[in-house]
């Protein structure tokens, strides 16, 4: 069970560090350093911001159950996350998301995915599949 007061305290502390130019928070220091690289300045669309900034949207909690490091999946899908059969046609009622959808080495994080996380791709493909299922 989550203790929301602990979570709130951590988020408020992180936001306080985010506003301080000389923050000692290692993650924020690394983000600032990476953003000094010209390539990151050109391709990044979301500037660092406070997590509790009302303009940044609501907070979303994600519970992770780490099973493997990276599987680099391989189920081919269409743009609605429907799994495709050997003939290239969607398999009725079968959707593939996350690493099973085969976005290893690319996808929403580009080639840096192998150095970081596939979480964004998992959330994106899960949302896409959920919308497709809901649309019927």
List the chain domain ranges: 4-56, 82-135
C-alpha closest to that of 127 among 104, 111, 108, 105: 108
CB atoms within 10 A of CB 92: 8
Say if residues 101 and 94 touch (Cβ distance below 8 Å): no
Q: Convert the pLDDT of each residue in 37-79 to its tens digit.
A: 787 777 766 677 888 998 888 888 777 776 655 556 678 889 8
Q: What is the pLDDT of residue 45?
A: 63
Judged against a pLDDT cut of 80, whether residue 116 lies above it is answered with no
Judged against a pLDDT cut of 60, whether residue 91 lies above it is answered with yes
Q: What is the pTM of this model?
A: 0.44
State the sign of the Cα–Cα–Cα–Cα dihedral 70, 74, 80, 83. negative
Q: What is the pLDDT of residue 61?
A: 76
Q: What is the pLDDT of residue 105?
A: 47
Phi, psi values for residue 123, rounded to 5°:
-65, -45
Q: What is the pLDDT of residue 135?
A: 92
Judged against a pLDDT cut of 90, whether residue 27 lies above it is answered with no
C-alpha closest to that of 61 among 8, 133, 18: 8
Say if residues 73 and 67 touch (Cβ distance below 8 Å): no
């Amino acid at each position: 069970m989550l203790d929301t007061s602990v979570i709130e305290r951590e988020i408020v502390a992180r936001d306080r560090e985010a506003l301080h130019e000389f923050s000692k928070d290692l993650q924020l220091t690394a983000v600032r350093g990476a953003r000094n690289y010209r390539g990151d300045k050109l391709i990044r669309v979301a500037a660092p911001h406070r997590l509790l900034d009302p303009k940044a949207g609501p907070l979303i909690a994600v519970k992770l159950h780490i099973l493997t490091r990276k599987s680099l999946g391989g189920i081919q899908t269409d743009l609605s996350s429907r799994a495709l059969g050997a003939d290239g046609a969607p398999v009725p009622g079968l959707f593939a998301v996350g690493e099973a959808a085969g976005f290893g080495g690319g996808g929403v994080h580009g080639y840096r995915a192998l150095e970081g996380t596939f979480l964004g791709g998992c959330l994106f493909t899960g949302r896409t599949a959920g919308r497709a299922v809901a649309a019927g």
